[in-house]
Structure 1
Protein backbone atom coordinates (compact mmCIF):
# COMPACT_ATOMS: atom_id res chain seq x y z
CA UNK A 1 0.00 0.00 0.00
CA UNK A 2 2.89 2.32 0.85
CA UNK A 3 4.56 1.61 -2.50
CA UNK A 4 1.25 2.16 -4.30
CA UNK A 5 0.77 5.53 -2.50
CA UNK A 6 4.27 6.68 -3.42
CA UNK A 7 3.71 5.64 -7.03
CA UNK A 8 0.45 7.61 -7.13
CA UNK A 9 2.17 10.75 -5.82
CA UNK A 10 4.96 10.39 -8.40
CA UNK A 11 2.52 9.96 -11.27
CA UNK A 12 0.57 13.03 -10.15
CA UNK A 13 3.75 15.07 -9.83
CA UNK A 14 4.94 14.01 -13.27
CA UNK A 15 1.55 14.84 -14.73
CA UNK A 16 1.64 18.35 -13.23
CA UNK A 17 5.18 18.87 -14.50
CA UNK A 18 4.22 17.72 -17.97
CA UNK A 19 1.19 20.00 -18.03
CA UNK A 20 3.24 22.99 -16.90
CA UNK A 21 5.98 22.30 -19.43
CA UNK A 22 3.51 21.89 -22.26
CA UNK A 23 1.76 25.12 -21.38
CA UNK A 24 5.02 27.10 -21.27
CA UNK A 25 6.31 25.58 -24.48
CA UNK A 26 3.08 26.20 -26.36
CA UNK A 27 3.11 29.84 -25.31
CA UNK A 28 6.72 30.42 -26.32
CA UNK A 29 6.35 28.41 -29.51
CA UNK A 30 3.23 30.25 -30.72
CA UNK A 31 3.90 31.35 -34.32
CA UNK A 32 2.31 34.73 -33.65
CA UNK A 33 4.05 35.28 -30.29
CA UNK A 34 7.56 33.81 -30.75
CA UNK A 35 9.44 33.43 -27.47
CA UNK A 36 6.56 35.03 -25.64
CA UNK A 37 7.13 38.55 -27.01
CA UNK A 38 7.62 40.55 -30.20
CA UNK A 39 10.81 42.61 -30.42
CA UNK A 40 10.24 45.85 -32.34
CA UNK A 41 13.16 48.05 -33.39
CA UNK A 42 12.85 51.70 -34.44
CA UNK A 43 15.60 53.76 -36.09
CA UNK A 44 16.63 56.95 -34.21
CA UNK A 45 15.30 59.52 -36.68
CA UNK A 46 14.11 61.94 -33.98
CA UNK A 47 14.94 63.05 -30.44
CA UNK A 48 14.46 59.91 -28.28
CA UNK A 49 12.39 61.94 -25.81
CA UNK A 50 9.79 62.40 -28.55
CA UNK A 51 10.33 59.20 -30.51
CA UNK A 52 10.24 56.65 -27.70
CA UNK A 53 6.70 57.36 -26.42
CA UNK A 54 5.41 57.62 -29.99
CA UNK A 55 6.93 54.25 -30.90
CA UNK A 56 5.64 52.69 -27.68
CA UNK A 57 2.11 53.85 -28.53
CA UNK A 58 2.37 51.98 -31.83
CA UNK A 59 3.81 48.95 -30.04
CA UNK A 60 0.97 48.95 -27.50
CA UNK A 61 -1.60 48.92 -30.30
CA UNK A 62 0.13 45.95 -31.92
CA UNK A 63 0.27 44.20 -28.56
CA UNK A 64 -3.49 44.48 -28.22
CA UNK A 65 -4.11 43.33 -31.80
CA UNK A 66 -1.84 40.28 -31.55
CA UNK A 67 -2.37 39.45 -27.86
CA UNK A 68 1.40 39.28 -27.41
CA UNK A 69 3.76 41.62 -25.49
CA UNK A 70 5.62 44.02 -27.80
CA UNK A 71 9.02 45.25 -26.63
CA UNK A 72 9.98 48.51 -28.38
CA UNK A 73 13.62 49.48 -28.75
CA UNK A 74 14.84 52.74 -30.29
CA UNK A 75 18.30 51.73 -31.50
CA UNK A 76 21.49 53.70 -31.00
CA UNK A 77 22.02 54.28 -34.71
CA UNK A 78 21.05 52.97 -38.15
CA UNK A 79 23.77 50.32 -38.33
CA UNK A 80 22.88 48.96 -34.88
CA UNK A 81 19.31 48.36 -36.00
CA UNK A 82 20.37 46.50 -39.15
CA UNK A 83 22.85 44.41 -37.14
CA UNK A 84 20.26 43.62 -34.48
CA UNK A 85 17.84 42.23 -37.06
CA UNK A 86 20.63 40.34 -38.80
CA UNK A 87 21.55 38.70 -35.46
CA UNK A 88 17.96 37.72 -34.73
CA UNK A 89 17.51 40.29 -31.95
CA UNK A 90 14.56 42.01 -33.67
CA UNK A 91 11.45 40.38 -35.10
CA UNK A 92 10.08 43.51 -36.76
CA UNK A 93 11.67 46.91 -37.35
CA UNK A 94 10.90 50.34 -38.69
CA UNK A 95 13.78 51.41 -40.93
CA UNK A 96 14.64 54.50 -42.86
CA UNK A 97 14.31 53.65 -46.57
CA UNK A 98 18.09 53.19 -47.06
CA UNK A 99 18.37 51.21 -43.83
CA UNK A 100 15.71 48.89 -45.22
CA UNK A 101 17.84 48.34 -48.34
CA UNK A 102 20.68 46.95 -46.24
CA UNK A 103 18.40 45.10 -43.83
CA UNK A 104 16.84 43.34 -46.81
CA UNK A 105 20.28 42.17 -47.87
CA UNK A 106 21.60 41.23 -44.44
CA UNK A 107 18.47 40.00 -42.66
CA UNK A 108 16.13 39.36 -45.61
CA UNK A 109 13.87 42.08 -44.14
CA UNK A 110 10.52 42.28 -45.88
CA UNK A 111 8.62 45.57 -46.09
CA UNK A 112 5.03 45.20 -44.90
CA UNK A 113 3.48 48.58 -44.20
CA UNK A 114 4.18 52.31 -44.16
CA UNK A 115 2.51 55.56 -43.24
CA UNK A 116 -0.29 57.17 -45.21
CA UNK A 117 -2.21 60.39 -44.97
CA UNK A 118 -5.93 60.66 -44.32
CA UNK A 119 -6.43 60.24 -48.07
CA UNK A 120 -5.03 56.71 -47.87
CA UNK A 121 -2.01 57.51 -50.07
CA UNK A 122 1.54 56.54 -49.09
CA UNK A 123 3.24 59.56 -47.54
CA UNK A 124 6.60 60.91 -48.67
CA UNK A 125 9.24 63.33 -47.44
CA UNK A 126 12.22 65.18 -48.89
CA UNK A 127 15.85 65.76 -48.06
CA UNK A 128 17.08 69.34 -48.03
CA UNK A 129 20.12 71.53 -47.52
CA UNK A 130 19.65 74.86 -45.75
CA UNK A 131 21.85 77.92 -45.18
CA UNK A 132 21.41 81.17 -43.22
CA UNK A 133 19.26 83.71 -45.02
CA UNK A 134 22.19 86.14 -45.47
CA UNK A 135 24.58 83.46 -46.78
CA UNK A 136 26.14 83.89 -50.23
CA UNK A 137 25.51 80.19 -50.90
CA UNK A 138 22.76 79.86 -53.48
CA UNK A 139 23.30 76.29 -54.68
CA UNK A 140 25.34 73.17 -54.19
CA UNK A 141 28.22 74.55 -56.28
CA UNK A 142 28.90 77.23 -53.65
CA UNK A 143 29.42 74.58 -50.96
CA UNK A 144 32.92 73.93 -52.25
CA UNK A 145 35.33 74.78 -49.43
CA UNK A 146 32.46 75.28 -46.94
CA UNK A 147 31.28 73.22 -43.96
CA UNK A 148 28.19 71.03 -44.25
CA UNK A 149 26.49 69.17 -41.42
CA UNK A 150 24.82 65.88 -42.31
CA UNK A 151 22.73 63.75 -39.99
CA UNK A 152 24.41 60.37 -39.53
CA UNK A 153 25.93 57.63 -41.65
CA UNK A 154 23.27 55.41 -43.20
CA UNK A 155 20.51 58.00 -43.17
CA UNK A 156 18.56 58.30 -46.42
CA UNK A 157 17.84 62.02 -46.30
CA UNK A 158 20.65 62.93 -43.94
CA UNK A 159 23.51 61.17 -45.72
CA UNK A 160 23.01 59.26 -48.99
CA UNK A 161 20.79 61.69 -50.91
CA UNK A 162 22.80 64.84 -50.07
CA UNK A 163 26.02 63.04 -51.01
CA UNK A 164 24.46 61.89 -54.27
CA UNK A 165 23.41 65.48 -55.01
CA UNK A 166 26.93 66.75 -54.30
CA UNK A 167 28.38 64.08 -56.57
CA UNK A 168 25.98 65.06 -59.35
CA UNK A 169 27.09 68.69 -58.90
CA UNK A 170 30.71 67.64 -59.40
CA UNK A 171 31.69 68.16 -55.76
CA UNK A 172 33.85 65.50 -54.14
CA UNK A 173 33.67 64.97 -50.41
CA UNK A 174 37.23 66.22 -50.06
CA UNK A 175 36.16 69.53 -51.61
CA UNK A 176 34.22 70.55 -48.50
CA UNK A 177 34.21 70.11 -44.75
CA UNK A 178 31.71 67.33 -44.16
CA UNK A 179 30.55 66.81 -40.57
CA UNK A 180 28.23 64.09 -39.27
CA UNK A 181 26.31 65.73 -36.44
CA UNK A 182 24.83 62.53 -35.02
CA UNK A 183 21.19 62.95 -36.05
CA UNK A 184 18.70 65.21 -37.80
CA UNK A 185 18.06 67.41 -34.73
CA UNK A 186 21.80 67.78 -34.19
CA UNK A 187 22.44 68.80 -37.81
CA UNK A 188 19.72 71.45 -37.56
CA UNK A 189 21.18 72.68 -34.27
CA UNK A 190 24.65 72.99 -35.82
CA UNK A 191 23.17 75.36 -38.41
CA UNK A 192 21.13 77.47 -35.99
CA UNK A 193 24.15 77.83 -33.68
CA UNK A 194 26.34 78.98 -36.57
CA UNK A 195 28.72 76.03 -36.25
CA UNK A 196 28.48 75.21 -39.99
CA UNK A 197 27.82 77.04 -43.24
CA UNK A 198 25.04 74.65 -44.29
CA UNK A 199 23.15 71.66 -42.97
CA UNK A 200 20.78 68.97 -44.13
CA UNK A 201 17.26 69.39 -42.78
CA UNK A 202 14.68 66.98 -44.12
CA UNK A 203 11.02 67.92 -44.37
CA UNK A 204 10.11 65.80 -41.35
CA UNK A 205 12.61 67.49 -39.06
CA UNK A 206 11.68 70.85 -40.55
CA UNK A 207 8.02 70.34 -39.61
CA UNK A 208 8.64 69.22 -36.02
CA UNK A 209 11.32 71.86 -35.35
CA UNK A 210 9.18 74.65 -36.79
CA UNK A 211 6.16 73.56 -34.75
CA UNK A 212 8.21 73.36 -31.53
CA UNK A 213 9.73 76.79 -32.17
CA UNK A 214 13.33 75.58 -32.39
CA UNK A 215 13.68 76.62 -36.04
CA UNK A 216 12.62 79.89 -37.64
CA UNK A 217 12.37 79.37 -41.39
CA UNK A 218 12.41 83.14 -41.97
CA UNK A 219 16.05 83.23 -40.89
CA UNK A 220 17.23 80.51 -43.30
CA UNK A 221 16.99 79.45 -46.96
CA UNK A 222 16.77 76.07 -48.64
CA UNK A 223 19.29 75.75 -51.48
CA UNK A 224 18.58 72.15 -52.47
CA UNK A 225 15.77 69.64 -52.10
CA UNK A 226 15.43 66.04 -53.22
CA UNK A 227 12.70 64.22 -55.08
CA UNK A 228 9.98 62.75 -52.81
CA UNK A 229 11.08 59.72 -50.77
CA UNK A 230 8.52 57.05 -49.72
CA UNK A 231 8.16 57.08 -45.96
CA UNK A 232 9.75 54.58 -43.58
CA UNK A 233 8.65 50.95 -43.94
CA UNK A 234 7.82 48.65 -41.05
CA UNK A 235 9.52 45.36 -41.87
CA UNK A 236 9.61 41.78 -40.69
CA UNK A 237 12.73 39.60 -40.45
CA UNK A 238 12.87 37.21 -43.37
CA UNK A 239 13.17 33.98 -41.39
CA UNK A 240 10.10 34.55 -39.23
CA UNK A 241 7.31 31.98 -39.54
CA UNK A 242 4.79 32.55 -42.36
CA UNK A 243 2.00 32.60 -39.75
CA UNK A 244 3.76 35.43 -37.91
CA UNK A 245 4.30 37.45 -41.08
CA UNK A 246 0.66 37.09 -42.08
CA UNK A 247 -0.66 37.98 -38.62
CA UNK A 248 1.68 40.96 -38.29
CA UNK A 249 0.81 42.40 -41.68
CA UNK A 250 -2.90 41.99 -40.99
CA UNK A 251 -2.50 43.71 -37.61
CA UNK A 252 -0.52 46.62 -39.05
CA UNK A 253 -2.93 47.27 -41.88
CA UNK A 254 -5.91 47.23 -39.54
CA UNK A 255 -4.62 49.52 -36.79
CA UNK A 256 -6.78 52.48 -35.89
CA UNK A 257 -5.21 55.71 -37.23
CA UNK A 258 -5.16 56.97 -33.63
CA UNK A 259 -2.53 54.31 -32.88
CA UNK A 260 -0.12 55.73 -35.45
CA UNK A 261 -1.00 59.40 -34.99
CA UNK A 262 1.87 60.22 -32.62
CA UNK A 263 4.68 58.60 -34.58
CA UNK A 264 3.08 59.70 -37.84
CA UNK A 265 3.32 63.33 -36.73
CA UNK A 266 7.08 62.92 -36.27
CA UNK A 267 7.21 61.74 -39.89
CA UNK A 268 5.25 64.81 -41.00
CA UNK A 269 2.14 62.71 -41.60
CA UNK A 270 -0.67 64.75 -40.09
CA UNK A 271 -3.44 63.79 -40.05
CA UNK A 272 -2.42 60.16 -40.31
CA UNK A 273 -4.59 57.56 -41.95
CA UNK A 274 -4.37 53.76 -41.65
CA UNK A 275 -1.04 52.17 -42.56
CA UNK A 276 -0.83 50.98 -46.17
CA UNK A 277 0.82 47.94 -47.70
CA UNK A 278 4.28 48.32 -49.26
CA UNK A 279 6.87 45.93 -50.66
CA UNK A 280 10.38 46.02 -52.08
CA UNK A 281 9.25 47.59 -55.34
CA UNK A 282 8.05 50.64 -53.39
CA UNK A 283 11.64 51.35 -52.40
CA UNK A 284 13.39 50.33 -55.62
CA UNK A 285 14.74 53.88 -56.15
CA UNK A 286 16.67 53.49 -52.88
CA UNK A 287 18.12 50.15 -54.02
CA UNK A 288 19.19 51.95 -57.20
CA UNK A 289 20.68 54.80 -55.16
CA UNK A 290 22.80 52.37 -53.14
CA UNK A 291 24.08 50.84 -56.37
CA UNK A 292 24.81 54.28 -57.90
CA UNK A 293 26.82 55.40 -54.87
CA UNK A 294 28.50 52.01 -54.56
CA UNK A 295 27.22 51.67 -51.01
CA UNK A 296 27.65 48.41 -49.15
CA UNK A 297 26.64 47.17 -45.71
CA UNK A 298 29.87 48.76 -44.38
CA UNK A 299 28.46 52.19 -45.22
CA UNK A 300 25.61 51.82 -42.73
Structure 2
Protein backbone atom coordinates (compact mmCIF):
# COMPACT_ATOMS: atom_id res chain seq x y z
CA UNK A 1 0.00 0.00 0.00
CA UNK A 2 1.28 3.45 -0.86
CA UNK A 3 2.36 5.83 1.89
CA UNK A 4 -0.50 7.66 3.54
CA UNK A 5 0.90 11.00 2.42
CA UNK A 6 0.37 9.92 -1.16
CA UNK A 7 -3.13 8.64 -0.58
CA UNK A 8 -4.77 12.00 0.09
CA UNK A 9 -5.96 12.88 -3.41
CA UNK A 10 -7.91 15.92 -2.23
CA UNK A 11 -7.82 18.02 0.92
CA UNK A 12 -9.45 21.35 1.65
CA UNK A 13 -9.60 23.31 4.88
CA UNK A 14 -12.96 24.96 5.31
CA UNK A 15 -12.73 28.02 7.53
CA UNK A 16 -15.94 29.95 6.91
CA UNK A 17 -16.91 29.75 10.58
CA UNK A 18 -13.76 31.27 11.98
CA UNK A 19 -10.10 30.64 12.61
CA UNK A 20 -8.54 27.91 14.73
CA UNK A 21 -8.33 30.36 17.63
CA UNK A 22 -12.11 30.75 17.72
CA UNK A 23 -12.58 27.42 19.47
CA UNK A 24 -10.73 25.62 22.21
CA UNK A 25 -9.05 22.23 21.93
CA UNK A 26 -11.75 20.88 24.23
CA UNK A 27 -14.43 21.92 21.73
CA UNK A 28 -12.49 20.95 18.60
CA UNK A 29 -9.91 18.21 19.20
CA UNK A 30 -6.62 19.39 17.74
CA UNK A 31 -8.19 22.69 16.70
CA UNK A 32 -10.03 21.19 13.70
CA UNK A 33 -12.07 18.16 12.66
CA UNK A 34 -10.52 15.89 10.03
CA UNK A 35 -13.19 14.21 7.90
CA UNK A 36 -12.23 11.31 5.64
CA UNK A 37 -14.22 10.03 2.68
CA UNK A 38 -13.76 6.70 0.89
CA UNK A 39 -12.99 6.76 -2.85
CA UNK A 40 -16.23 5.20 -4.13
CA UNK A 41 -16.53 7.69 -7.01
CA UNK A 42 -14.25 9.94 -9.04
CA UNK A 43 -12.63 12.39 -6.53
CA UNK A 44 -13.51 15.22 -8.91
CA UNK A 45 -17.17 14.45 -8.17
CA UNK A 46 -16.72 13.53 -4.51
CA UNK A 47 -14.83 16.64 -3.42
CA UNK A 48 -17.41 19.33 -4.33
CA UNK A 49 -20.29 17.22 -3.01
CA UNK A 50 -18.62 16.60 0.34
CA UNK A 51 -17.46 20.19 0.65
CA UNK A 52 -21.13 21.16 1.00
CA UNK A 53 -21.69 18.57 3.73
CA UNK A 54 -18.42 19.46 5.49
CA UNK A 55 -19.24 23.17 5.47
CA UNK A 56 -22.66 22.50 7.00
CA UNK A 57 -21.10 20.27 9.67
CA UNK A 58 -18.53 22.96 10.36
CA UNK A 59 -21.26 25.45 11.01
CA UNK A 60 -23.20 23.08 13.27
CA UNK A 61 -20.10 22.27 15.35
CA UNK A 62 -18.44 25.70 15.14
CA UNK A 63 -15.22 23.83 14.30
CA UNK A 64 -13.10 24.06 11.15
CA UNK A 65 -13.49 20.87 9.11
CA UNK A 66 -10.68 19.51 6.93
CA UNK A 67 -11.99 17.24 4.18
CA UNK A 68 -9.80 14.40 2.89
CA UNK A 69 -10.75 12.12 0.00
CA UNK A 70 -8.41 9.16 0.47
CA UNK A 71 -6.90 6.99 -2.22
CA UNK A 72 -8.18 3.58 -1.11
CA UNK A 73 -10.18 1.77 1.55
CA UNK A 74 -7.14 0.54 3.47
CA UNK A 75 -5.67 4.05 3.68
CA UNK A 76 -8.82 5.35 5.36
CA UNK A 77 -8.76 2.67 8.04
CA UNK A 78 -5.06 3.29 8.62
CA UNK A 79 -5.56 7.05 8.85
CA UNK A 80 -8.23 6.72 11.54
CA UNK A 81 -6.23 4.09 13.43
CA UNK A 82 -3.23 6.45 13.47
CA UNK A 83 -5.34 9.34 14.76
CA UNK A 84 -5.23 11.27 11.48
CA UNK A 85 -8.99 11.24 10.98
CA UNK A 86 -11.61 12.17 13.55
CA UNK A 87 -14.69 11.25 11.53
CA UNK A 88 -14.91 9.20 8.35
CA UNK A 89 -17.41 7.71 5.95
CA UNK A 90 -16.65 4.05 5.28
CA UNK A 91 -18.20 1.50 3.01
CA UNK A 92 -20.19 -1.02 5.07
CA UNK A 93 -17.43 -3.66 4.87
CA UNK A 94 -14.71 -1.09 5.44
CA UNK A 95 -16.54 -0.09 8.62
CA UNK A 96 -16.37 -3.70 9.85
CA UNK A 97 -12.57 -3.51 9.91
CA UNK A 98 -12.43 0.13 10.97
CA UNK A 99 -14.53 -0.77 14.01
CA UNK A 100 -11.95 -3.30 15.20
CA UNK A 101 -8.72 -1.69 13.97
CA UNK A 102 -9.53 2.00 14.35
CA UNK A 103 -12.30 1.95 16.99
CA UNK A 104 -14.69 3.57 14.52
CA UNK A 105 -18.20 4.07 15.90
CA UNK A 106 -21.11 4.52 13.44
CA UNK A 107 -23.22 7.62 13.95
CA UNK A 108 -25.41 8.24 10.92
CA UNK A 109 -26.05 7.18 7.35
CA UNK A 110 -28.10 8.57 4.50
CA UNK A 111 -31.87 8.76 4.83
CA UNK A 112 -34.70 9.14 2.33
CA UNK A 113 -37.24 11.95 2.31
CA UNK A 114 -38.99 10.33 5.29
CA UNK A 115 -35.75 9.94 7.24
CA UNK A 116 -35.56 6.16 6.80
CA UNK A 117 -32.17 4.54 6.21
CA UNK A 118 -31.48 3.96 2.52
CA UNK A 119 -29.89 0.91 0.93
CA UNK A 120 -28.18 -0.09 -2.30
CA UNK A 121 -27.39 -3.33 -4.11
CA UNK A 122 -24.41 -5.02 -5.71
CA UNK A 123 -24.87 -6.57 -9.15
CA UNK A 124 -22.97 -8.40 -11.87
CA UNK A 125 -23.66 -7.26 -15.42
CA UNK A 126 -22.87 -8.77 -18.83
CA UNK A 127 -23.49 -7.68 -22.44
CA UNK A 128 -27.05 -8.30 -23.57
CA UNK A 129 -25.94 -10.94 -26.10
CA UNK A 130 -23.64 -12.75 -23.66
CA UNK A 131 -24.19 -16.51 -23.18
CA UNK A 132 -23.85 -15.92 -19.44
CA UNK A 133 -27.29 -16.32 -17.87
CA UNK A 134 -26.39 -16.75 -14.19
CA UNK A 135 -23.45 -16.66 -11.79
CA UNK A 136 -22.77 -20.35 -12.55
CA UNK A 137 -22.00 -19.41 -16.15
CA UNK A 138 -19.17 -17.11 -15.00
CA UNK A 139 -16.83 -20.05 -14.40
CA UNK A 140 -13.57 -19.21 -16.18
CA UNK A 141 -14.92 -15.87 -17.43
CA UNK A 142 -13.26 -12.48 -16.83
CA UNK A 143 -15.01 -10.38 -14.17
CA UNK A 144 -14.13 -6.76 -13.42
CA UNK A 145 -14.42 -5.83 -9.76
CA UNK A 146 -14.03 -2.41 -8.17
CA UNK A 147 -11.34 -2.31 -5.47
CA UNK A 148 -10.16 -4.76 -2.85
CA UNK A 149 -12.24 -4.21 0.28
CA UNK A 150 -15.29 -2.77 -1.46
CA UNK A 151 -18.56 -4.17 -0.14
CA UNK A 152 -20.49 -4.19 -3.41
CA UNK A 153 -17.48 -4.16 -5.70
CA UNK A 154 -15.50 -7.01 -4.16
CA UNK A 155 -16.80 -9.01 -1.19
CA UNK A 156 -20.40 -9.57 -2.25
CA UNK A 157 -19.65 -10.58 -5.88
CA UNK A 158 -16.93 -12.94 -4.65
CA UNK A 159 -19.39 -14.39 -2.14
CA UNK A 160 -21.87 -14.98 -4.98
CA UNK A 161 -19.18 -16.85 -6.93
CA UNK A 162 -18.36 -18.93 -3.87
CA UNK A 163 -22.00 -19.83 -3.30
CA UNK A 164 -22.28 -20.92 -6.94
CA UNK A 165 -19.08 -22.97 -6.69
CA UNK A 166 -17.40 -21.27 -9.65
CA UNK A 167 -14.11 -19.48 -10.23
CA UNK A 168 -13.94 -16.40 -12.43
CA UNK A 169 -10.84 -14.53 -13.58
CA UNK A 170 -10.96 -11.44 -11.35
CA UNK A 171 -9.76 -8.07 -12.61
CA UNK A 172 -9.62 -5.28 -10.02
CA UNK A 173 -10.25 -2.18 -12.10
CA UNK A 174 -9.54 0.38 -9.37
CA UNK A 175 -13.04 1.69 -8.70
CA UNK A 176 -16.72 1.32 -9.54
CA UNK A 177 -16.57 3.64 -12.59
CA UNK A 178 -13.50 1.80 -13.88
CA UNK A 179 -15.15 -1.61 -13.51
CA UNK A 180 -18.15 -0.39 -15.48
CA UNK A 181 -15.89 1.02 -18.20
CA UNK A 182 -14.03 -2.28 -18.46
CA UNK A 183 -17.36 -3.87 -19.41
CA UNK A 184 -18.63 -1.16 -21.74
CA UNK A 185 -15.26 -1.05 -23.52
CA UNK A 186 -15.26 -4.82 -24.03
CA UNK A 187 -12.21 -5.48 -21.84
CA UNK A 188 -14.00 -8.11 -19.71
CA UNK A 189 -16.92 -10.50 -20.06
CA UNK A 190 -18.70 -9.31 -16.90
CA UNK A 191 -18.42 -6.54 -14.31
CA UNK A 192 -19.79 -5.50 -10.98
CA UNK A 193 -21.96 -2.40 -11.19
CA UNK A 194 -23.73 -1.42 -8.02
CA UNK A 195 -27.03 0.45 -8.00
CA UNK A 196 -25.37 3.73 -7.01
CA UNK A 197 -22.88 3.66 -9.88
CA UNK A 198 -25.64 2.57 -12.25
CA UNK A 199 -27.82 5.55 -11.32
CA UNK A 200 -24.93 8.02 -11.61
CA UNK A 201 -23.77 6.63 -14.96
CA UNK A 202 -27.28 6.57 -16.44
CA UNK A 203 -27.90 10.16 -15.35
CA UNK A 204 -24.66 11.20 -17.04
CA UNK A 205 -25.48 9.26 -20.21
CA UNK A 206 -22.44 7.03 -19.64
CA UNK A 207 -24.26 3.70 -19.55
CA UNK A 208 -26.81 2.37 -22.05
CA UNK A 209 -28.78 -0.14 -20.01
CA UNK A 210 -30.40 -1.58 -23.14
CA UNK A 211 -27.03 -3.04 -24.21
CA UNK A 212 -26.43 -4.94 -20.95
CA UNK A 213 -28.25 -7.02 -18.35
CA UNK A 214 -27.75 -8.07 -14.75
CA UNK A 215 -27.25 -11.78 -14.03
CA UNK A 216 -27.05 -11.41 -10.25
CA UNK A 217 -28.19 -8.84 -7.70
CA UNK A 218 -27.46 -8.84 -3.98
CA UNK A 219 -29.79 -8.34 -1.06
CA UNK A 220 -30.12 -4.65 0.00
CA UNK A 221 -27.04 -3.24 1.74
CA UNK A 222 -27.42 -0.46 4.35
CA UNK A 223 -25.82 2.72 3.06
CA UNK A 224 -22.38 3.90 4.16
CA UNK A 225 -22.01 4.95 7.80
CA UNK A 226 -20.34 8.19 8.86
CA UNK A 227 -18.28 7.20 11.88
CA UNK A 228 -16.33 8.86 14.67
CA UNK A 229 -13.04 7.67 16.16
CA UNK A 230 -13.87 5.78 19.33
CA UNK A 231 -11.08 7.14 21.52
CA UNK A 232 -12.30 10.73 21.30
CA UNK A 233 -14.05 12.41 24.24
CA UNK A 234 -17.59 11.00 24.69
CA UNK A 235 -19.06 14.50 24.97
CA UNK A 236 -17.48 15.48 21.66
CA UNK A 237 -18.71 12.31 19.96
CA UNK A 238 -22.23 13.12 21.13
CA UNK A 239 -21.89 16.66 19.74
CA UNK A 240 -20.85 15.27 16.36
CA UNK A 241 -23.78 12.84 16.31
CA UNK A 242 -26.28 15.59 17.15
CA UNK A 243 -24.72 17.97 14.63
CA UNK A 244 -24.96 15.41 11.83
CA UNK A 245 -28.57 14.58 12.69
CA UNK A 246 -29.57 18.25 12.55
CA UNK A 247 -28.27 18.76 9.00
CA UNK A 248 -31.00 19.38 6.47
CA UNK A 249 -31.66 17.67 3.12
CA UNK A 250 -29.97 20.50 1.21
CA UNK A 251 -26.76 19.91 3.19
CA UNK A 252 -26.52 16.30 2.04
CA UNK A 253 -28.29 16.45 -1.33
CA UNK A 254 -25.13 16.46 -3.48
CA UNK A 255 -23.67 13.49 -1.61
CA UNK A 256 -27.06 11.79 -1.68
CA UNK A 257 -27.13 12.06 -5.47
CA UNK A 258 -23.87 10.11 -5.66
CA UNK A 259 -25.37 7.43 -3.41
CA UNK A 260 -28.63 7.19 -5.38
CA UNK A 261 -30.58 8.83 -2.56
CA UNK A 262 -33.22 10.89 -4.33
CA UNK A 263 -34.95 12.77 -2.92
CA UNK A 264 -32.62 13.06 0.08
CA UNK A 265 -33.81 13.45 3.62
CA UNK A 266 -32.01 14.13 6.88
CA UNK A 267 -29.28 11.75 7.94
CA UNK A 268 -30.51 8.65 9.79
CA UNK A 269 -29.06 7.36 13.06
CA UNK A 270 -27.31 3.96 12.84
CA UNK A 271 -25.54 1.61 15.23
CA UNK A 272 -23.17 -1.32 14.98
CA UNK A 273 -26.17 -3.65 14.80
CA UNK A 274 -27.28 -1.94 11.57
CA UNK A 275 -24.22 -3.48 9.89
CA UNK A 276 -24.32 -6.88 11.62
CA UNK A 277 -24.88 -8.72 8.29
CA UNK A 278 -21.54 -7.32 7.06
CA UNK A 279 -19.74 -8.63 10.14
CA UNK A 280 -21.31 -12.01 9.39
CA UNK A 281 -20.22 -11.78 5.73
CA UNK A 282 -16.62 -11.02 6.73
CA UNK A 283 -16.63 -14.01 9.07
CA UNK A 284 -18.13 -16.31 6.43
CA UNK A 285 -15.52 -15.31 3.84
CA UNK A 286 -12.73 -15.39 6.39
CA UNK A 287 -11.84 -11.78 5.60
CA UNK A 288 -9.32 -9.80 7.65
CA UNK A 289 -8.19 -6.19 7.55
CA UNK A 290 -5.57 -7.29 5.03
CA UNK A 291 -8.42 -7.92 2.59
CA UNK A 292 -9.41 -4.26 2.70
Structures share fold, TM-score greater than 0.5: yes
Deviation at 1:250, TM superposition (A): 0.3
Match of 1:57 in 2: 52
Match of 1:224 in 2: 216
Aligned length: 273
Match of 1:15 in 2: none
Unaligned runs of 5+ in 1: 1-23
Q: Which residue, 281, 284, 291 being the options, matches 2:273? A: 281
Deviation at 1:107, TM superposition (A): 1.0
What pairs with 1:245-264 in structure 2 (closer than 5 Å)?
Answer: 245-264=237-256
Unaligned runs of 5+ in 2: 1-19
SS in 2 for 1:292: helix
Contact in 1 for aligned 2:106/2:227 (Cα 8 Å): yes
Q: Is 1:94–2:86 an aligned residue pair?
A: no
Deviation at 1:176, TM superposition (A): 2.2
Query: Which of 1 and 2 has greater Rg?
Result: 1
Q: Which residue, 102, 115, 129 being the options, matches 1:107? A: 102
Contact in 2 for aligned 1:102/1:297 (Cα 8 Å): yes
Q: CA RMSD in A?
A: 1.1
Contact in 2 for aligned 1:27/1:35 (Cα 8 Å): no
Deviation at 1:120, TM superposition (A): 1.5
Match of 1:294 in 2: 286
Q: Cα distance 1:202–1:253, how it changes in 2: closer, same or farther (>3 A)?
A: same
**Distance in 2, Cα, partners of 1:146 & 1:177:** 6
Match of 2:15 in 1: none
- Between structures 1 and 2, the one with greater helix share: 1
Match of 2:76 in 1: 81
SS in 1 for 2:66: strand
Match of 1:47 in 2: 42
**Distance in 1, Cα, partners of 2:42 & 2:25:** 36
Match of 1:269 in 2: 261
**Distance in 2, Cα, partners of 1:102 & 1:249:** 21
